[in-house]
Structure 1
Amino acid sequence: METVRLGLVGIGKIARDQHLPAIAANPDFTLAATASRHGSVEGVTGYHDIAEMAAACPLDAVSLCTPPGGRYEQALTAIEAGLHVMLEKPPAATLSHVAALEAAARRANVTLFATWHSREAAGVAPARAWLSDKKINAVRIDWREDIRRWHPGQEWILAAGGFGVFDPGINALSIATQILPEELFVEHATMDVPAGRASPLAASIAMRCGEAPVRVEFDFLQTGPQTWSIEVDTDAGTLSLAMGGSVLTLPGEEQRTEPDREYARLYARFAELIATGQSDVDVRPMRLVSDAFLLAERRTTDSFSF
C-alpha cells in the first residue's frame, strides 16, 4: 500500500497527546494537512475547516479529533469527498448519525473506522481470551477521574451532546463489551447533573451480563490517584484490569503490565482497513450510553465551574 496522505481535524489536547505521535511513528501515513479553528502543527499546512482542507489539499483519509457534536457533518463532508474516515470516540452525537455515516461510506466505497482506543490497551485481548470459557458471576466497573485535569476548560463536555462523565466512561464500556462473553443490558441508572448543565458529572448504572449483575460507577470529580478498573468474578476466580486496561491480573498469576500503545494500534488498524477495503463500526458501547440516558433518574446537584 502506498503511504496514506492524512488530514487531521481538530488540533486539541487529544490530537497533540496521542494522534500526532502515533501518526509520526507509523510509516503507512503522512500528515499532509490539518483543519482546526484554533490549533496548528508546525510544518504542516493548516486550514480553517474540513471542507476547505478537502477541496485544497490532495488527501486519501482524514482522522477526526473534534468533539462529537459536529462530527457527523465533518465525517459526511470527508466521505462525500471520497476520503477514508477515522473517528475518535464517541463516533458521533447520536446512533442515527453513526448509522447514516456507515451507509454513506458503503455508497462511497470508503473505509469508516469508529475507534475505541481503550480496547487496544495491553490487557484487553488476553482478558477476553481468558474469559471466553468462564462463567461470569459478577462484574464491577469503576471509572473515576478529574475533569479539570483531563478536560481543562472544555465546556462542551457538559453541554447537550457532550456526554459528560460518559465521555471517559464509554472507554470502560468499550472494554466491557469487548471482553465479556455475553451482551450487556442496562436495567437502571442514576445521573448527577450540575445545575445549569446538560450532561452528568457522575453516574451509577445497574446492568446484566447474562445472569450476572454488573455494577458501574462513573465519577468526574475524583482528585488525587485516578481509578480506571474492571473486576470480573468468575467460576475460576477474579480477573482484574487496572489503569484503563493496561494492567491485567489473573487468578494465581503475576500482574501483567505493558507500555501504552493504544493509538499506535489504532492507526495500524486504520491502515489495514484501508488496504483491505473494509470498515469497522461497533456501536455497542454507545448504545449502552444511550440506554443509560433513556432509563436514568436525573438528580440536580450543585453548580460546577472549571
Structure 2
Amino acid sequence: MSPINLAIVGVGKIVRDQHLPSIANNSDFKLIATASRHGTVDGIPAFTSIEAMLDAVPGIDAVSLCMPPQYRYEAAYKALEAGKHVFLEKPPGATLSEVADLEALAKAKGVSLFASWHSRYAPAVEAAKAFLAGTTIKSAHVIWKEDVRHWHPNQEWIWQAGGLGVFDPGINALSIVTHILPPLFLTGAVLEFPENRDSPIAADLQFKSGQGLPVHAEFDWRQTGKQSWDIVAETEAGQMVLSEGGSKLSVNGALTFTAPEAEYPSLYRRFAEIVKAGTSDVDLAPLRHVADAFMLGKRKFVEAFHD
C-alpha cells in the first residue's frame, strides 16, 4: 500500500520530541504538510491554519492534532468533514461531549478517529496487566508527582480552564489504570487550586470497583528532585510496582520486566492499523475520570503559583 499522507497541526515540543521521529521511522506514513501559528518543519510545506492547509494540499489522508485540548475540537471537526482520518493527542478534547460528537462525525464520514493515550504503550504496561489478571488485587495506589516548572515552563494554556492542570500528566496514570485494573468509579476527591489559577496543581482521588477494590491516586505538580510515576498494587501474589511511568515492572521487589521506551512509535503503528481497517479507537475512560473529579471533587485553594 502507498504511505498514508499525513499532516500535523500544532508544531510544538511534543511534535519535535516524539511525533516527528516516530513518523520518520514508520513507512506507513509520509509527512506532507504542517499547520501551526509559529512552528514549522524543515522541508515540509507550512501553513498558519488548518483551513489554509486543507485547501492547498488536497492529497492529505490523515491529520495529527497536537494543539492544546481547548482548541482541538474545531480543527478535528474540519479535518473529519474534509474526509481525513484524525489522530488526537491526549487528552482527546476539553470535554466529553465534543469528543463524542467527533466520534459520531468520523463514523458518518467513514474515516478513523484515534484518541491516543501514549502511556498505555509504555513498555511494561502489558506485562503488568497480565500479572494482575493472574491474581487477586487487594488495593492499588497511584503516585504521579512531578515538577511543572521542568515539564511545562511558561505554558499558560495548562493553567486555563480546560487545560486540566495537574490532570495533564495525571490522565497518563489514569490511562494506564483504566487499562490494567477492573472498571472503577470515583468516590471522592480533593482538588488543590492555586489562588491565581483556573486549574488544579494537585489532586487526591479515591476510587473503587463494583467489587469494592479500593484505589487511591495522588497527583502533584510541586515535586522537585526525583519524579514519581508509579502504580503500586497489593495482590495475593505479592506487591506489584509499575514504575517510571510504566517502563519497569517489579514483583515483591524483584525487577521482572523492562524495555526501551517506544510509546509514540507504538501510537503511530496503532493509528496505521485502524486507518487500514477502517475503524476508530476512542476510549474516553481516562477523560471521564477527570470529568468526574471536577464534578465530585472538593476545591481547596492554596498559595499562588508563579513560573
| Class of the TM-score when normalised by the shorter of the 2 chains | over 0.9
Write out aligned runs for 1:270-281 (5 A). Answer: 270-281=271-282
Find the residue that maps to 2:196 and give its secondary structure: coil
Shift of 1:301: 1.0
Structure-1 separation of matches of 2:253 and 2:225: 30
What is the total number of aligned residue pairs between the two structures? 305
1:161-200 matches, cutoff 5 A: 161-180=162-181, 182-200=182-200
Report the CA distance between 1:282 and its aligned residue. 0.2
List alignment gaps of at least 5 residues for structure 2.
none
3-state secondary structure, aligned to 1:292: helix
Distance 1:29 1:146 in 2: 34
Aligned residue in 2 for 1:116: 117
Indicate the residue corresponding to 2:39 in structure 1.
Answer: 39
Residues in 1 aligned to 2:29 and 2:252: alpha-carbon distance in whole angstroms: 40
Q: Quick one: which amino acid aligns to residue 184 of structure 2?
A: L
Q: Distance in 2 between matches of 1:103 and 1:299?
A: 37
Residue 252 of structure 1 deviates from its aligned partner by 7.3
Asked whether the equivalents of residues 127 and 257 of structure 2 are also in contact (C-alpha less than 8 Å), the reply is no
How far, CA to CA, are the matches of 2:172 and 2:249 in structure 1? Answer: 16
Give me the identity figure in percent. Answer: 52
CA shift digits 1:70-102 (9 cap, x unpaired): 111110010001000000000000000010000
Letter in 2 for 1:111: S
Report if the CA contact (8 A) 2:85-2:112 is conserved. yes
SS of residue paired to 1:245: coil
Looking at structure 1, the residues matched to 146 and 88 of structure 2 have their Cα atoms a distance apart, in angstroms, of: 23
* Structure 2 match to 1:8: 8
Query: CA deviation digits over 1:193-215, x for unaligned, max 9?
Result: 01121100001011113312111
Alpha-carbon separation, structure 1, partners of 2:38 and 2:147: 24
In the superposition, the TM-score normalised over structure 2's length comes to 0.97
| Structure-to-structure mapping, 1:1-306, within 5 angstroms | 1-57=1-57, 58-180=59-181, 182-209=182-209, 210-251=211-252, 253-306=254-307
In structure 2, distance between residues paired with 1:301 and 1:237: 38
Task: Tell me the CA shift for residue 153 of structure 1.
Answer: 0.7
* Structure 1 runs of 4+ with >6 Å offset: none
* Superposed displacement of residue 253, structure 1: 4.8
- 1:133 CA displacement: 3.3
Q: Is the 8 A contact 2:124 2:247 kept in 1?
A: yes
Tell me if structure 1 keeps the 8 A contact 2:34–2:44.
yes
- Could you tell me which amino acid in structure 2 is paired with residue 136 of structure 1? I
One-letter code of the match for 2:272?
A
Partner of 2:144, secondary structure, is strand
CA separation in 2, counterparts of 1:252 and 1:225? 19
Structure 1 vs Structure 2 CA RMSD = 1.0
Report the TM-score, using the length of structure 1 for normalisation.
0.98
Between stretches 94-103 and 127-136, larger displacement belongs to: 127-136
Q: Is the Cα contact below 8 Å between 2:35 and 2:50 reproduced in 1?
A: yes
Q: Is the 8 A contact 2:248 2:255 kept in 1?
A: no
Tell me, in whole angstroms, the C-alpha distance in 1 between the residues paired with 2:303 and 2:46.
41
